[in-house]
Amino acid sequence: MKKTAVTIFLFAALAATAAATGHQVTVDNGSTANKFPWWPVAFPSGCRFQMLFDRDAINYAGTVNEFELQKSSAGTGTFTDAKFYLCHTSLTGLTTNFRDNYAGNTPALVASFPSYVLPLPSGFYPVPMATTFSYNNTDSLILEITYESSSGLGGDLYCGEMTTNHRVFGRTSTAESGTADKWGYNARLSFSYYPGVGPTSLGRVKALFR
């Protein structure tokens, strides 16, 4: 019984240590409300959408286990065959070509849903990541969202006007090119542990709590 109690205490202590070594970054690009990409009126037949987040705004290397966007008001919608990708890029401004924006990197699929329902409340809400993403803090970061069709009212996100193109959108999920402009979105990234934790025994135990 004592051995079980000690084991539980040890794992609880390690979990607390893992949580304590986490890190969170908020990217604040502005306070303008914009319905893209969650606007069924504009994208009834699907959408391919990229958002750029600057390296200087993130300024942290590690494993991203939660990525949040910020809604400015309550609203929801349903989006079929929705996919979420994260990708490094060396670009400081997006082009109109989706593939070129990867700058030779391969996007990682972090979530996929046959039917995705946008959370109703305002405020930060998580992109429903099913797998983590290792961010290098050398490049900027692209969040790409695709879906096949949409319904409902959708929801507004907070964003602000940047000096270079920070979003590009096409009106089908497989569009090769789209319209680029300077709106950059707010986001909050949670990192599961400091990058200095190596593949030691303690590091492996901490990984259990990511």
What is the Cα–Cα distance from 180 to 163, expressed in whole angstroms? 12
Which residues are paired to 189 by β-bridges? Answer: 25, 67
Give tens-digit pLDDT for 37-57: 999 999 999 999 999 999 999
pLDDT at 97: 98
Helix (H) or strand (E) holding 57: helix 55-58
What is the Cα–Cα distance from 204 to 209, expressed in whole angstroms? 9
- pTM above threshold 0.85: no
What is the Cα–Cα distance from 5 to 1, expressed in whole angstroms? 6
Q: Cis before residue 37, ω within 30 degrees of 0?
A: yes
Say yes or no to pLDDT of 196 above 60. Answer: no
What is the Cα–Cα distance from 143 to 209, expressed in whole angstroms? 25
Give tens-digit pLDDT for 73-131: 999 999 999 999 999 999 999 999 999 999 999 999 999 999 999 999 999 999 989 99
DSSP 94: -
What is the Cα–Cα distance from 183 to 165, expressed in whole angstroms? 7
Which residues are paired to 78 by β-bridges? Answer: 117, 151
Say yes or no to pLDDT of 194 above 50. Answer: no
pLDDT at 17: 42
In CATH, the architecture of 23-192 is Sandwich (2.60)
183 close to 161: Cβ distance less than 8 angstroms = yes
What is the Cα–Cα distance from 176 to 27, expressed in whole angstroms? 28
115 close to 76: Cβ distance less than 8 angstroms = no
